[in-house]
Amino acid sequence: MGAGNRELATDNWHLRICFDRKIRIVHAARFAYVSGMTSNAILSEDEVIQQADEMRSTPANRSEARRWQAVLKRDSTLDGAFVFGVSSTGVFCRPSCPARRPRRENVQFFEHATAAEQAGYRACLRCRPKAVDGNPQSAVVRAACRYIEQHIEDRLTLSGLAKQVRRSPFHLQRTFKTVLGVSPKAYMDACRLRQVKQNLRDGHDVTTSLYAAGYGSSSRLYERTAGQLGMTPEKYRRGAVATVVRYTIAASPLGRMLIAVTDKGICAIQFADSEAALQQGLMREFPFAVRKRDDAALAEWKTSLGRLIDGQEAHPSSSLPLDIRATAFQRRVWECLQKIPRGETRSYSAVAKKIGMPKAARAVARACATNPVAVAIPCHRVVREDGESGGYRWGVERKEKLLAMERGAGA
């Protein structure tokens, strides 16, 4: 080199050479890995940390992460699927709540509003999460029911229905039965039967009514209508023309009493103040049937019912076979009523809980009001929550008198 000072200085990465006129920076060469690894196999520090976090994540953490994203996006499609509580305010909201988003560390997720309330949170007054649906299971079942009703003519399967509501078949089956007390298949059958009945009443022939309701064969229709219609679809289409309904009218402690039977069992038990009122009620119940009064042939039925009213017959189903039409829900309610001991009462809400549907108290009341066979199905033993007798299809006075008779006989 020429004259001047020469100085060699090194640091971690650079070799610095000083010349008289210019300072040149030369990068020291880095040696490649002998194994020849590709460059994307070497992770940065941030990537290593991120990968470790992903490995430590659990399904619960991933689920909460998805819910938090739904909260950030205000995803209204998940309203009813969950709610989130905010510890700093003490309220819980639905995912689409328009309020300002809370900090993540202050958020706790709950499956439904009831769980949030039990944890001490109160409902948000802005988004009203309980108004969306206090129980997400009910929302799922409601969506499934609407889909069944709108596609009743299709060949519906449990797996296909579960796919529509984004649930597994097992989960939907269990949830459906918990909320409604019947399986999805039973609900489909009830909807199809209702559609068939409507089509027959509208004057359509049996074959058209059958296939329009989604039945694949006439044999399946007949086997389902046998126990619920008490007659063939053709007879139902003609308004039960030629179906013989025999009846008798007799005195009872509750006034004039009518008993009507088909060849399968009792189809009506009614009370009124006069025979004319009873005959009018029977005509409304069976408008096109052949109604025949037959006091002699029904004397045994009249005696059995009298023993039931007087408390001498403990199990009416053993001596009084019934031939009644009922939905799946009505049948569950009526079977529950028949198990109430004589002289005792139950509230509408108690009956709803007994059949596994605690929120169906009003539906239970409607099922009692549509009971066609008084006393045989003891709907008079269901009263209001406060102990008041409540309504009765044949008059509140008869209900109170019947209850008093039963209590007196049991004393």
Structure tokens at 334: 């009526």
Q: How many CB atoms lie within 10 A of CB 284?
A: 8
Q: How far apart are CA 183 and CA 179, in angstroms?
A: 10
- 135 φψ region: left (φ > 0), alpha (ψ -120 to 50), beta (else): beta
Q: How far, in Å, CA of 375 to CA of 378, rounded?
A: 5
> Residue 119: which of 141, 95, 92, 97 has the closest Cα?
92
CA 275 to chain centre: 42
Helix, strand, or coil (residue 252): strand
Spatial separation of the C-alpha atoms in residues 70 and 84, rounded to whole Å = 11
DSSP 367: H
From the list 223, 197, 228, the residue with the least C-alpha distance to 210 is: 197
Nearest alpha-carbon partner for 121 in 133, 107, 132: 107
Rounded Cα–Cα distance for residues 279 and 258 (Å): 8
Q: Which two three-digit tokens encode residue 129?
A: 């999460």
- Residues 6 or more apart whose Cβ sits within 8 Å of residue 339: none
Q: Which of 93, 124, 145, 191 is catalytic?
A: 93
Q: Is 161:148 a contact under the CB 8 Å cutoff?
A: yes
379 catalytic per annotation: yes
User: DSSP readout, 289-307?
Assistant: SEEEE-TTTTHHHHHHHHH
Q: How far apart are CA 315 and CA 308, in angstroms?
A: 8
Distance CA 258, CA 247 (A): 7
124 assigned to active site: no
Closest CA to 173 of 160, 163, 159, 183: 183
> What tokens appear for 323 in the block?
């031939």
Q: How many CB atoms lie within 10 A of CB 181?
A: 18
Out of 97, 145, 368, 379, which one is annotated catalytic?
Answer: 379
Active site residues: 93, 379
